[in-house]
Amino acid sequence: MIKISILGSTGSIGTQTLDVVRNHGDKISVVAITGNENIDLLEKQALEFQPEIVAVWDEKKAGELRKRLQGKCEVLEGLEGLSAAAAWDSAQRVVTAIPGMAGLIPTIEAIKKGKDIALANKETLVAGGSVVMNLAKAQGVELYPVDSEHSAIFQCLIGNQRKYLSKISLTASGGPFRDYDIKQLEGVTVEQALKHPNWSMGKKVTIDSSTLMNKGLEVIEAKWLFDLKTAEIDVIIHPQSIIHSLVEFKDHSSMAQLGEPDMRVAIQLALLYPERHENNTKSLNLAEIGTLEFRKPDVNKFRCLKLAYDALEAGGSMPVVLNGANEIMVDKFLNKEISFLDIPKIIESVMNLHVPIREPGLEEILEIDRWARKHAKEKAGIIS
C-alpha cells in the first residue's frame, strides 16, 4: 500500500488522482489533501477518502471546514498548512497539482522530508529547476512525471541507456487556435481559449495551451527532468494528442508512447510505477482514429513558445521571469484586461528588462518572481 498526499485535490489533476485511488483502493491510500477554497468538495473528499489532514489555502474557508469536519479530520491552513500536508509524516509520495509558483515551496518541503514526487506542477521546475533537482538528488528523491509528454518520455527511456538518446520531441495539440492566422488571433476571446480541443484541464494550463506557452514551459520542464540541452528538445504539432511524445536515439530509432488523451494513465503510472494495472480508461483503437497528423509549430504566430526557448537559452533566472510574467498575463487575459496577443508582447518586454543570474537560490527565485510580476502588472496597466 502506498500512502499519498495530494496538493490540489479539488482540481483537474487532483480529482483524477482520486479517481485512480478509487480504482486501486487496495494499493493506494490518501493521507493528506489540499485545496485553495473549494471546501464543499474538500469536505466530500475528506469523508470519502478519510485522510489524516486537510489543508486549505484560504484561512477563512479553512475555519469553516474545520467546524464541518470537527472530530473527523484535522484542518490546517495557509502556506504552513500546505507545507505540512506536503511533508506529512506518513505520506510516501506527493502529487503536486497546484498550478503555478504556489506549488514551489510545498514541493520543496516534501523533498526535504524525502518524499517521492508525482510531479504535475511544471512551473515548479520552470522557476525552481536547479534548486529542486539538486535537492531531490541530495535527498535521494524520485520525480515521477505526471505531465503527459514527460510521462511519455519517461516511459520511452525505460530499458534504454541515456547516453544513446539524441533528442526528444514533445507533441503539442496546437490548442484551439492552431489554424488561425495572426489577424484572427488578435480578436480571440477567453471563452474560445478555454475550449481545449482534446483535454479538460484547469484554466491556467488551458490558456497556456492556447498560446503554446504550455509547450514552452514543458520544454524547460523536460530540460530539468531529463538533463537535456536546448537543441535536444523539439516540439511538433500533433492535433490528435494520441502520441504523447517521442524519443530518438543515436541510431535513428525513435520510440513513442501512445494512448487516448486521459491523464489518469500518467497519474496511475506516477503512483504505482513500475506496476501497470488495468483501469477504466479507453483502449486505443488506431483504425477508428484513422489519421495522425504532424506539423512544425509556427513561432511567429505563437511567440510564447519562442520566448520559452529564449529563456532556456539565456538560462539562470530568465525562466523565473518568463513564468512569473506569464502567470500575471494569464490572469489578466482571463479577467479580460488584455488581449490574447498582449500576452507574449508583455512577457517579452519584461524579459528584456532582466539580466539573468546563474543558478539562483530559492530566495533569489522568489525575489525575481516578485520583480517579474510587478513589472508585468505595470506594463499590462499601460497597455489596457
Ligand X SMILES: CC(=O)[C@@H](O)[C@H](O)COP(=O)(O)O
Ligand Y SMILES: NC(=O)C1=CN([C@@H]2O[C@H](COP(=O)(O)OP(=O)(O)OC[C@H]3O[C@@H](n4cnc5c(N)ncnc54)[C@H](OP(=O)(O)O)[C@@H]3O)[C@@H](O)[C@H]2O)C=CC1
**For strand 2-7 and strand 74-77, is the pairing parallel, antiparallel, or unpaired?**
unpaired
Q: Give the other-Cβ count within 10 Å of 41's Cβ.
A: 16
- Amino acid found at 162: R
**Binding mask of the shown chain, residues 128 to 167, with x at each position contacting ligand X by CB under 6 A:** -------------------xxx------------------
Which residues contribute to the site for ligand Y (CB under 6 A)? 8-14, 35-38, 57, 82, 97-99, 102, 120-123, 147, 199, 201-203, 205, 263
Residue nearer to ligand X on the CB measure, 121 or 214: 214
For the bound state, the minimum distance from the C-beta of residue 40 to ligand X, rounded and expressed in Å, comes to: 26
On whether the CB atoms of residues 168 and 232 are closer than 8 A, the answer is: yes
Q: Please give the Cα distance from 286 to 343 (Å, whole number).
A: 37
Residue nearer to Mn ion on the CB measure, 85 or 308: 308
45 makes contact, choosing from Mn ion, ligand Y, ligand X, none, with CB < 5 to 8 Å by partner type, with none
269 makes contact, choosing from ligand X, Mn ion, ligand Y, none, with CB < 5 to 8 Å by partner type, with none
Residue nearer to ligand X on the CB measure, 205 or 311: 205
Residue nearer to ligand X on the CB measure, 9 or 317: 9
Q: What angle do CA 270, 271, 274 make, to 5 degrees?
A: 75
109 makes contact, choosing from Mn ion, ligand X, ligand Y, none, with CB < 5 to 8 Å by partner type, with none
Set of cell numbers at residue 223: 530540460
**Binding mask of the shown chain, residues 312 to 351, with x at each position contacting ligand X by CB under 6 A:** ----------------------------------------
Residue from 263, 269, 305, 346 touching ligand X (CB under 6 A): that is 263
The verdict on whether residue 183 carries a ligand-binding annotation is no
Sheet (strand 116-119) strand order: 74-77, 53-56, 28-35, 2-7, 93-96, 116-119, 143-145
**Binding mask of the shown chain, residues 206 to 225, with x at each position contacting ligand X by CB under 6 A:** ---x----xx----------
Residue nearer to ligand Y on the CB measure, 242 or 357: 242
208 lines the binding site for Mn ion (CB under 5 A):
no
Phi then psi dihedrals of residue 308, to 5 deg: -65, -45
For the bound state, the minimum distance from the C-beta of residue 99 to ligand Y, rounded and expressed in Å, comes to: 4
The verdict on whether residue 11 carries a ligand-binding annotation is yes
Residue from 43, 77, 123, 147 touching Mn ion (CB under 5 A): that is 147
- Please report, in range form, the residues annotated as the binding site for NADPH: 10-13, 38, 121, 123, 202
- Please report, in range form, the residues annotated as the binding site for 1-deoxy-D-xylulose 5-phosphate: 122, 148-149, 173, 196, 209, 214-215, 218
- Please report, in range form, the residues annotated as the binding site: 10-13, 38, 121-123, 147-149, 173, 196, 202, 209, 214-215, 218
